[in-house]
């Protein structure tokens, strides 16, 4: 059997796939396999792995590489540019054999090419955990090896498991007032002060417990109940934030997500004005978050958005960078805030394209005289990068997950006390 047009025997049988699965920590018996035609790189990686107590097999040819791979291979360091067979061909072969090892891509070529190779590997079902652009600092290699020997698990789940829920349960949730609001604080990067809270809906199911919106929002839309759901959410949030802010005489900005259907309703601004008056909640302290997709029906949306701003409500464009809005539309929307989607924040420290997106969104937001908030901030490294790039605000697990009313009150009080000290 041959690799493409090369006559190297394939030593990796289909059943001899890697023992570990993506994301699992390596045990002390697991091995690293490096393939790189540069002898110096091999010596550096081998020496560092040995110093860290890891076993590393250094190979320079595809034949040797596949001959070293076994059931205890857990991490592969793969050079993309080699004289006999390039890394893309090797990735394809690994994908065909359902490789489950974690992979680090290495090369001295343009970073965008490396990232394209990463996307290819992911499309083949491979687990790429990082890249090294030559010449790379030893500390970067050390961090990659260390992270994959004992990777830290996130404090909170990144993706909630999808649950199949009968429509009758969902209708019953409306009738029995089972929807609740959790609040996630938003922090000003320059001062560390809490500027606001975002209201996030949850469903307290009597049998299944707390259910996240990914499991029911699409069904609410399909059942034609979105308007009813949005008004329930808005009224509960206004009431609760007004109540829990009374204890410390501080009313944070309240961010509420509004639906596309609300932007089609010409009565929406007037109804919201009356609701804010009912709870004596200043309109300028209410931030209405809209997604880029909500700007698709632009003429009607612009009517509603303009009248909302004339009534002093604040507007924020949520999940920016993932939707459909055109630059001209963004320029015309009277928003005061852009929110960087968490998918860009999550990998910006090791994915150049994501970092560029974050930089450009911050730059564009500021040029349009908007504040820019980054969602999904989970690490000090992400926080540092955002601060250096001039981002205005952040929210995410680094500070707090979304909390129910009683807990967010305690968190806000504790945070304010720390700021005073």
> Packing angle between helix 167-175 and helix 226-246, nearest 10 degrees?
40
Mean pLDDT of 380-398: 95
DSSP string computed for 40-90: HHHHHHHHHHHHTT-EEEEESSHHHHHHH--TTEEEEEEES--SSS-HHHH
DSSP string computed for 204-259: EETTTEEE-GGGTHHHHHHTT-HHHHHHHHHHHHHHHHHHHHHTTT---EEEEE--
The number of beta carbons lying within 10 Å of the beta carbon of residue 333 is 22
Q: Which residue has the higher pLDDT, 394 or 27?
A: 394
Q: 284, 151, 281, 163: which is closest to 217 by C-alpha?
A: 163
CATH number listed for the domain at residues 31-149 = 3.40.50.2300
How far apart are alpha carbons 374 and 245 in whole angstroms?
Answer: 24
Q: What is the percent of the chain with per-residue pLDDT over 90, rounded to a whole number? A: 41
* pLDDT(163) > 50: yes
Phi-psi label, residue 55: left if phi above 0, alpha if psi -120 to 50, beta otherwise: beta
* pLDDT(401) > 90: yes
How far apart are alpha carbons 11 and 27 in whole angstroms?
Answer: 24
pTM: 0.64
Write out the two tokens for 397: 């697990």
For residue 311, name the pLDDT band (cuts at 50, 70, 90). very high
Q: Which residue has the higher pLDDT, 151 or 238?
A: 238
Strands 337-340 and 31-35: unpaired
Do the beta carbons of residue 19 and residue 74 sit within 8 Å? yes
Name the residue ranges covered by the structural domains of the chain: 31-149, 167-420
Q: How many CA atoms lie within 13 A of 310 on its CB side?
A: 8
* pLDDT(27) > 70: no
Q: Which CATH number fits domain 167-420: 3.30.70.100, 3.60.70.12, 3.20.20.450, 2.60.40.1580?
A: 3.20.20.450
């Amino acid at each position: 059997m041959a690799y493409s047009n090369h006559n190297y025997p394939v030593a990796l049988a289909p059943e001899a796939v890697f023992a570990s699965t993506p994301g699992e920590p390596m045990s002390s018996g697991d091995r690293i396999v490096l393939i790189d035609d540069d002898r110096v790189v091999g010596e550096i990686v081998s020496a560092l792995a040995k110093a860290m107590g890891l076993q590393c097999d250094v190979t320079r040819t595809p034949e040797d590489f596949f001959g070293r791979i076994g059931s205890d291979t857990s991490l592969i360091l793969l050079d993309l540019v080699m004289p006999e067979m390039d890394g893309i061909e090797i990735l394809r072969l690994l994908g065909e054999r359902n490789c489950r090892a974690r992979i680090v891509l290495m090369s001295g070529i343009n970073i965008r090419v490396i990232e394209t190779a990463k996307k290819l590997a992911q499309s083949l079902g491979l687990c790429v955990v990082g890249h090294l652009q030559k010449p790379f600092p030893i500390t970067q290699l050390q961090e990659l090896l260390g992270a994959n020997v004992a990777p830290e698990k996130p404090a909170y789940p990144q993706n909630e498991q999808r649950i199949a829920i009968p429509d009758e349960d969902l209708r019953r949730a409306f009738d029995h007032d089972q929807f609740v609001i959790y609040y996630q604080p938003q922090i000003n990067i320059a001062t560390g002060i809490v500027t606001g809270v975002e209201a996030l809906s949850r469903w307290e199911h009597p049998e299944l417990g707390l259910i996240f919106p990914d499991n029911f929002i699409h069904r609410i839309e399909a059942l034609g109940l979105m308007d009813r759901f949005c008004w329930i959410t808005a009224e509960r949030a206004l009431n609760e934030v007004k109540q829990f802010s009374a204890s410390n005489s501080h009313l944070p900005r309240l961010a509420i997500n509004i639906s596309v259907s609300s932007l089609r309703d010409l009565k929406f601004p007037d109804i919201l004005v009356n609701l804010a008056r009912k709870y004596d909640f200043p309109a300028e302290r209410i931030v209405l978050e809209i997604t880029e997709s909500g700007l698709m029906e632009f003429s009607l949306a612009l009517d509603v958005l303009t009248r909302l701003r004339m009534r002093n409500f604040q507007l924020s464009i949520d999940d920016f960078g993932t939707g459909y809005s055109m630059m001209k539309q963004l320029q015309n929307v009277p928003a005061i805030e852009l929110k960087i989607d968490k998918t860009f924040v999550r990998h910006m420290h090791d994915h150049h394209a994501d970092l560029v997106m974050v930089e450009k969104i911050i730059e564009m937001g500021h040029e349009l005289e908007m504040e820019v908030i980054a969602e999904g901030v989970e690490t000090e490294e992400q926080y540092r990068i955002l601060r250096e790039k001039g981002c205005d605000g952040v929210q995410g697990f680094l500070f707090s997950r979304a909390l129910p009313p009683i807990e967010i009150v305690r968190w806000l009080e504790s945070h304010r006390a720390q700021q005073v000290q």
